[in-house]
Amino acid sequence: MIANLTNTPPIIDFGFGTTVLNFSIFDSLPYITVWQNTLYHPALYNPVLTAPGANIEVVSPYEYRLTFDEYDENTNSSIQLTFTAPNGQTLYSNILSINFSE
């Protein structure tokens, strides 16, 4: 069911409720998928996914693919989705974390 923008914030994850991913800097990462679990009408609300250090590809209004050109043990990314309604109301999703280590 597609919901009207209410005070219910959007929920995002990496799939199956996963909200934290940990990788070695030696891992080869083709892409990381972020899923939006709370559905809002894409023609009425403006979704913006932020993921510092990542390239973001919008696959659909509910699926995003992230790639990292460069990462090291100091690269950590906090990912968040915001929705803005025409009246200016903004909702913020939960925060996802990607951590890289040796």
Task: Report pTM.
Answer: 0.85
Q: 3-class SS at 62?
A: coil
- Which domains does the chain carry? 12-101 (2.60.40.10)
Tens-digit pLDDT profile for residues 41-83: 777 788 999 999 899 999 998 999 999 888 877 778 999 999 9
What pLDDT is attached to residue 15?
Answer: 94
Beta bridge partners of 69: none
Tell which residue, 37, 21, 18, has the closest CA to residue 47. Answer: 37
Q: In whole angstroms, what is the distance from residue 26 CA to residue 48 CA?
A: 30
Q: Is the pLDDT of residue 9 over 80?
A: yes
* Structure tokens belonging to residue 86: 């025409």
Beta bridge partners of 49: 81
* Structure tokens belonging to residue 20: 């934290």
